[in-house]
Amino acid sequence: MARLLLVSLLVLCACTTLRGRADSLAQKGMFVEAAAIYDDLIRQSPYDQELLLAREDLRSRALAQLLSNAREARLEGDDEEAEAWLLRFLNHRTAWNSKLNGGLESSLREEVDGTRRHLQRLIGNPARQGHALTAEQSLQRKQPLLAHRELALISRDMEWLVLQSGKTSCQRLRDTSTDDSPHWRELVFRYCGHWREYAPRPATAPELFGPPSWTGTVEGLDEAQQAQLEARLTQAFESSPWFAPGGSARPVFSLEGRFVTQRDSHPVELTAPWTESVPYTDHEDRTETIEEPYEAEEEYTDSKGKTKTRKVTKYTKHTHTYSVPVTRYRDVPRSFEYHALRLSQAHHVAVASSVVLDARRGPFTVTLQDQLSESGHEHDVTFTEGNVRPQRPHFTLAEAWLEAKVEALRVAFSRQLAEHWRESYCSTPSLTLDEAARCARAGVAVPIQASRVLSDILGADATQVPALFASP
């Protein structure tokens, strides 16, 4: 019973402390944070009506505050800030499943209308100008807000507007394609496909390759590991700007290197320091007081008034100091010696792959070198005083480490292939339209000279075109 009472008191104290924090936050206008603390309180006392009502009040005040912040930002002309507050409002309203009063419903409708007007400018204007990719980027950025049911109609209208803009732009771009511009035609093909429109697929450009093959092996890999390595690198190549499914030329990559795991074991003698409490005899002085009796005469008056003398016993005190032996303890440093095996393991990998992709340049080469060394002791000794317990080292498995290195090589391979393409086809100071489209195949931002050429036809969408070639 006493234990139950103690637990109840502790819970009550904790609740009181949390509620005090929540009320303090509410006084500072931090209603969302205060409501979150009440969530914790209600998890502890789910049937406390006072807590439930207090939380409902905080949530209402929080929603009113968030919507008010959105309205103020909108009046100040900051539509992005207003929609950030509106998104927070809608997220919390959905999470809390809150019903709004008439005033908040009216304010929400005003904010939805304000959002519609802003998105008509942000998304609708570039869409109407034929910049569908630019409009789509803004639409994607606003998806968290548009996903709420209150903005479903706006979302549908914006999506339709962007899609129609893309379809119209596709028809316009198809008319600019020529047979001697395979890269531009490839860009138009991808652009139209993005909007679910047809455009003829061009013949494969001469710079592009089909699936790669591999020659050579990495020493230390078994057949399955070698096949996995080649498959990963093939995947990276086929996601690069150098690859086209219809490419007739097949690059032959050299692949060589070594993977080895070295292990060692040898006996060692280890020392564990510990402290022993050792007894010893010491002496300490003690003092005692001794009372010694003695006889003395004293005068007194008897019953008849006569003065007489008599003998009495009195005491005198003496202090006596003496020494006694005592047992004390001192800490003496000791060392505990024991035998163990020192185990060590080291993984080493070195891989290099090379091929000529651009005859005007040297070979494309990617390399990976890495190692991992680990060591530990193995023994079955127990010595509590020296904190010595049986040990077994746990080393990284060779297969797991190799898997991570192969993935790292794939990522580096992919990144360097894109960079090699940029260096080959994006560095010319002056570019034709087909050359600018070829540069965009790298799937990353194009240099300014390519952007200018593409902008003449694509306008603001020129900066978005590389995304059509980006690896998934």
**What are the tens digits of pLDDT across the range 353-398?**
999 999 999 999 999 999 999 999 999 999 999 999 999 999 999 9
Q: What pLDDT is recorded for position 13?
A: 44
- Cα 121 to Cα 162: distance, rounded to the nearest angstrom: 13
**pLDDT at residue 323 above 70?**
yes
- Global pTM reads 0.76
**3-class secondary-structure state, position 276:** strand
Ranking 10-14, 164-168, 195-199, 304-308 by mean pLDDT, the lowest is 10-14
Give CA separation, 248 vs 203, 357, 362, in Å: 11, 13, 21
Q: pLDDT tens digits, residue range 258-317?
A: 999 999 999 999 999 999 999 999 998 888 888 888 888 888 888 888 888 888 888 888
Average pLDDT over residues 186-209: 94
Q: In the beta sheet, which residues pair with residue 353?
A: 255, 366
Q: pLDDT tens digits, residue range 88-147?
A: 999 999 999 999 999 999 999 999 999 999 999 999 999 999 999 999 999 999 999 999
Please provide the average confidence, as pLDDT, over all residues in the chain.
Answer: 92
CA angle (148, 153, 154) in 5-degree steps:
80
Choose among 258, 226, 260, 409: nearest CA to 345: 260
- Cα 46 to Cα 378: distance, rounded to the nearest angstrom: 53
Q: What pLDDT is recorded for position 177?
A: 64
Q: What pLDDT is recorded for position 97?
A: 94
Cα 24 from chain centre: 32
Q: What pLDDT is recorded for position 313?
A: 85
